[in-house]
Every structure is written in C-alpha cells, then in structure tokens.
Amino acid sequence: MKQPATLFATTLFASAALVFCVQPMVGRLLLPVLGGSPQVWNTCLVFFQAALLGGYLFAHGLATRLPVKAQAVVHIALLCGAAVSLPIVVGSDPAPTDDPSTWVLGALTTMVGLPFVALAANGPLLQSWYARTDAPDADDPYFLYAASNVGSFVGLLGYPLLAEPMLGTREQAVAWTVAYAGLVTLIAATAWVTVGRMASSASADAAVAAPVADATPPPTIPARRQLRWLFLGAIPSSLLLGVTTFLTTDLAAIPLLWVVPLALYLLTWVETFARRRRIPAAFVARALPILVVAWLLLRVTEATEPAWALVVFHLLTFFAAALLCHGELAADRPPAAQLTHFFLLTSFGGVLGGAFNALLAPVVFPDLWEYPIAIVAACIVIPGVALSSWRDLAMPAAVGAAAAALLFGSEKLGLPPGPVRSIVVFGLPALAAWLLVDRPLRFALAVAAILVIASQSPSVRGDVVRTERSFFGVQRVTTDARGRFDQIVHGHTLHGRQWRQGPRRCEPLAYYHPTGPLGDIVKLRGESKMAATAMIGLGAGAMLSYRSAAMDWLVVDIDPATWLLADESFAFISGCPADPGARKLRRVTGDGRIAMARADETFDTIVIDVFSSDAIPVHMLTREAFDVYLQRLRPGGVLAFHASNRYLDVVSVLAAVARDRGLAVLGRDDKRRKNNAPGVEPSRWVVAARNAAVIDPLKTRGWYTPDPHRSVWTDDFNDLPILLLGGLFSGR
C-alpha cells in the first residue's frame, strides 16, 4: 500500500459510524422503561461522553507508555474481550422513579460500556499510529479526525433513516454485533500496516521497540491553555443537551430529534478540523451575536409558532455557537506529539458540559436555566477586545436596569403579558446589548442581565407560583392574569386548571370539562361503568372530579413531582370528592404500560392521558401496548385516549392500531367548537371498544369514525419522524 491514509480513514470512519449508531439505538431501547422521558437521551449522552473520555484516556495511556506492537496487542485484546457483552439487550429490572439517572447510567454500563470504550479509543490511538508511519502527512494527522467525524455523522443519520425503519430492535442489535466483528478485523489490518510502514523507515527498529514516552518530551502545555480547551469543549456539549431538551420536550423523544442536534455538533468538528474550512471563522463570529439577540427576543416573547421555524432557528444558533467554539479549539491544537493529550482534555470538557446539564442542573436549578447559561458562555468566546475594566460590569448592569425600568413601567401602564409587551420591554435593551459585541464579556453579561429580568416578567400562562423539576421535566403552577385559576404547565402546554376558590373549585376545566369529549365519555359510561376505572396520567387531577366517594380508582403517573403538585397545589385528589373517597384512590408511581401489565385487576374504563408537553411516549401507542390494555379491559369496556397535540395527528395513529386489534374506534375534535366558558380548552379524544354498540351512542354527540394512519405502530416500528415533519410544516 503506497499511502496508508485510505486504510486509516476507512477504519476510523467505520469505527465512528458504529460508535454513533449505537447511541440512538440504545437510547431507543431504554425509552419505554422510563415513560418516554426526553431526559433519557440527555443521560445517555452524558454516559457516552464519559465513555468517550474513558476511551481517550485508554488511548493516551497506550500511546505514551507502550511500543506500537504492544499497543496493538492490548487494544485488539480489549476489543475482543468487550465482545462478550454483545449483542446489546436491556435488563429486565424495572427503573426506579426516584433516581432514574443513576439507573440509566448503570444499565448503559452493563449493556454497552466496554465495547463503547474500546471503540472510542480508536480515534486518537489510530491517529497516533498514523503519526508514527513514514506517510508524507504523518506530522499532521488531524485530518483523520475529520474523517472520523464524517463516519459519526453518517452513523447518526443512518440509524433513524435506515436502521430504525428497516430493522426491529433485536435485528439492530445483531447487525451491530456483526459490524463490530468486522471492525476488529480492520483494526488488526491497520495495526499490521502501521508496523510495516514504520519498519521501512531509517529508525524502524528503535521506533517499534520504544514507546513514544522514550522520545524527546514535548514542551509543557500551560495550565491556562489547558483550561481553555476544557471550556471550549464544555460549551458546545452543554448547548447540545440544552437544544435537544428544547426539541424533545415540546415535540417527541425520538431518535430523529436526538440525532439532528448531535449530527450538527459533529459536523462542526468535521468543518473546523478539515484541511480547508468552508465556513470562514470571521463570518461565524459576526453571525453569532445576531443570532443570540434574535434568540433572546424569541425567548422573552415565549414564541411557539411557527414550530418548524423555531426548530430551525434554535438549531442554527446552536450550530453557530458550536462552530465558533470548535473553531477556536482547532486553531489552538498542539503538535501531533501532544494529540492524545489534546483530545483527552477536549473530551473531558465535553463530559463536564454534559454532566452540567443532565446531572447537576436538574438538582441545582428549579427551571431549565442551563440552556441560556450555555448561550451566555458561548458569547464570551466571540473574538473581540479581551481587556477588562470596571465598565465590563457597569455597562451590562445598566442594560439590566433599563430592562427592569421598562418592565416596571409596562406593569404600571397595565400592558397585558404577551409578545407585544415583551418587545416593548426588552427590544431596546437587546439592541443595547448587541452594540457591546466588540467586548464579548460585556455582551455576554448584558444578555445575562436581560434574561434575569425577563425571568421576573409574568408569563403568558400567568404568574409562576411554584416550580417542580424532576428527571421527567419541569412543571410550573401558575395563576392566570385575572387571578381566577391555578394551572399546571409543562413546556408550553397547559396540563390542568382549577378554580382558585368558591363553589366551582371541583369543576373539571381545561380539556376535561363536562361539555367536551371527556364529559361525553363519562355520561356514556355512567357511574357503574366508571367505578372500576384506571387512569394513566394525572396532571392536576381534574378527571378525578368525576369520581364519587364510593368509586375505587387506580391512578398511574410516572413523575413523583406530578403527585406532589396535585396533592399540594390542587384540590382534586383530597377534596373532590371528600376525604373518605380519596382514601380509596390507589396510586402507582411508574410507567403506565408497565403498571397496567402488572396490575391484578381488570377495569370497565381505562383512560390514557400521558403526553408531556406535546411530546408523545411512542411505546404507549403501539400494538403491543394495546394488547396490554385489552388484557386489563373487561368485556364491554372502553379505552379512552386524550389525543390533543399541536403537531401530530395522534388520532389516526390510534385508529390504525385499534382497527388492527379488531376494535371499533371513534374520535371527537372540539378544537373548532366555539365555547366561551371560562377555563375551558378544546381537545381531541379517541375511544375504542371490542363491541361497536358500546360506543355508537357517541355518534349523536359529534363523534366520528377517524381515518386510520397508513401504518400500524409496533414496538419495533413507527414512522413518527415522517408524521412529525408533516405536522410541523403543515401548521397543525
């Protein structure tokens, strides 16, 4: 072989593709165990970043302490030994709801920990091998890092676009194992070529026999420079998790929405470490401040539409910030002799950024503050005047004071909360912040000051009176602008509402009012058929208003924070009906599907209301999920699904699965129905029953037979990405 670059690039490409294909695959396997929570993926990312760091540490140790031949033997032995844990399977132990992050990290370690660490070591180790050959470009092997990231990019996109639609989860695990075995062969071939090309050089015997550490030691890297590498590695990693949380909370926790931000993250590595950059660094430095100011205005106005444009904009801002940080890293990379040390520190920075979001922030911050914090940190990296003075604090403070004064004035003038008020209050301060961009620290602190003041501004959903954060997300209790209702909000979605006081306090509102679809279902079933009811998904507990003191209901919710808010901030559990009936309310904290599969009793009515914000837990809508529900449904029983969603046609999906299981199905959409009653929200519901005669009376109240989706969702297959994209761009 005249040039070993092709073999090295091919091997690194294949290795990276396997590394980044397995991440969404394993995340998808874990999702159903934890109720489809978006935080599953963030925890997975932290694990994989830590495992990547472990691989880099292993590679650094080999490259600095052993001869190349010994490195190859040890590394191939590790690859072969790690294969013992394959193929990848999920354990049968249930996930706890009090500490899911620790459980996820432990499960990942058992499932894929050792193979992933072994594969992660390939990147820096093979680059260090290439630097030891007599290839003409051996003195600068960083171009191989770009080839590795191209493989990562292909592996990420290949999973949701090819592997997931074409293969079931078991087949995916087997295929990955076969590919892993093929890669071990490629690694062996690369090691053979490395030793051979070293043997053709003048100092072959000495080079092969001695580790790199025996050569002249490279100059010491200053601690400040190393800390800068850590900082530049941490910011994009934190932003990656922040923007992913934003997407998956309000849309869906699916591999496509996981891999797009991660693919963009990897693309920034490809671009910045390529031999020639296609996007000039100066252009990125000019564009990012503009994007940040626009991001700031979108945040303070609480913009939610059009959804597709917001998704694109958030991804574009993230891409620019990551491109800037990784560009600074690429410009500051050390000589090849310090390559493994450089990648070790940048990887450690990535772990710190990911751990900040997934492990520290949910404990320290009551709300999703980690995303704006990372945006502010990225602003500091923008090139500009680095000199510091007292003005670096005084000028941002003046911007914040101006925003606070405008906010106070708008409240005195009686401007209602909303986009207009937010633009009036924060538009000029945002412009003032942008004028400080030549001094990055001042610009960053000015953006931070505006965000702090904006956090004190009333939301369009009302004044926030309480916030609870858990593994499953952030939920807020708000009071509407007129002080009539307490509300529970997750993401941008209202999940329940209750009159604050008076005789109507137990009246079900929002999506559960008596004149809506749920009211129809309750009337259809009557008190006798509602006595044995399973309710999956609690919210504020408004549905419990339909329960009499004699009824004995089972209620399941996966989030302990939801139970806390329903108990302490709303009266539906303890006061509607009175306490004697409340004691008969059987509570289960856990995933609804798992809880139903383990239940001993059967029910006349099963109500499924499990969406968090607008994200949907796919495993609750599959053929196998329906089989679980039907095992717990008595003859003549009814399944009822709350199917409201801003972006997805959940009704057609439910209709397809119901018909596949031989059920009659009806739907009602009162979204366009005019209803001026205070506190009422339009909603979409679906009912299914074994016998059509059971639900046919609903047709007289506007219920219709919905058209089924073109495919039936199963645990191994769904076309949610296509459905989601269609919903985003159609403006549902």
The pLDDT tens digits for 549-600 are: 778 899 999 889 999 999 999 988 877 765 444 456 889 998 889 899 999 8
Is a pLDDT exceeding 70 seen at residue 509?
A: yes
pLDDT of res. 179: 94
pLDDT of res. 202: 41
pLDDT of res. 250: 60
Q: How confident is the model at residue 214 (pLDDT cuts 50, 70, 90)?
A: very low
Closest CA to 198 of 126, 127, 125, 132: 132
Most confident range, picked from 213-217, 411-415, 592-596: 592-596
Is a pLDDT exceeding 90 seen at residue 164?
A: no
User: Tokens 């006061």 identify what position?
Assistant: 575
N residues, the chain: 732
What is the C-alpha to C-alpha distance for residues 244 and 328, in angstroms, rounded to an integer?
A: 23
Q: How confident is the model at residue 453 (pLDDT cuts 50, 70, 90)?
A: very high
* CATH number for the domain formed by residue range(s) 5-381: 1.20.1250.20
What is the three-class DSSP state of 478? strand
Out of 224-233, 452-461, 608-617, which region has the weakest mean confidence (pLDDT)?
Answer: 608-617
What is the three-class DSSP state of 698? helix
Q: How confident is the model at residue 207 (pLDDT cuts 50, 70, 90)?
A: very low
CB 14 within 8 A of CB 185: no
HEC readout, 216-267: CCCCCCCHHHHHHHHHHHHHHHHHHHHHHHHHHHHCCCCHHHHHHHHHHHHH
pLDDT in tens, 641-662: 999 887 788 999 999 999 999 9
pLDDT average, residue stretch 435-464: 88
Q: How confident is the model at residue 729 (pLDDT cuts 50, 70, 90)?
A: low
pLDDT average, residue stretch 387-399: 84
pLDDT of res. 212: 44
pLDDT of res. 34: 74
* CATH number for the domain formed by residue range(s) 508-730: 3.40.50.150
CB 574 within 8 A of CB 567: yes
Is a pLDDT exceeding 60 seen at residue 731?
A: no
What is the C-alpha to C-alpha distance for residues 603 and 622, in angstroms, rounded to an integer?
A: 20
Is a pLDDT exceeding 60 seen at residue 206?
A: no
Is a pLDDT exceeding 70 seen at residue 616?
A: yes
* Sequence-ordered list of residues with C-beta below 8 angstroms from that of 615, at least 6 positions apart, any chain: 36, 38, 248, 249, 250, 251, 252, 253, 491
Q: Where are the domains of the chain?
A: 5-381, 391-454, 508-730
Pairing of β 485-490 and β 554-557: unpaired
pLDDT in tens, 294-317: 999 988 887 777 777 888 899 999
pLDDT of res. 35: 64
pLDDT average, residue stretch 373-402: 87
Q: How confident is the model at residue 208 (pLDDT cuts 50, 70, 90)?
A: very low
Closest CA to 633 of 664, 600, 602: 602
pLDDT of res. 349: 92
Amino acid at 167: L
Mean pLDDT (the chain) is 85
Q: How confident is the model at residue 387 (pLDDT cuts 50, 70, 90)?
A: low
Residue 675 CA: distances (Å) to CA of 327, 489, 540, 667, 671: 55, 21, 22, 19, 10
pLDDT average, residue stretch 695-709: 94
pLDDT average, residue stretch 540-551: 86
Q: How confident is the model at residue 210 (pLDDT cuts 50, 70, 90)?
A: very low
Q: How confident is the model at residue 76 (pLDDT cuts 50, 70, 90)?
A: very high
pLDDT of res. 314: 92
* % of the chain surpassing 70 pLDDT: 90
What is the C-alpha to C-alpha distance for residues 224 and 226, in angstroms, rounded to an integer?
A: 5
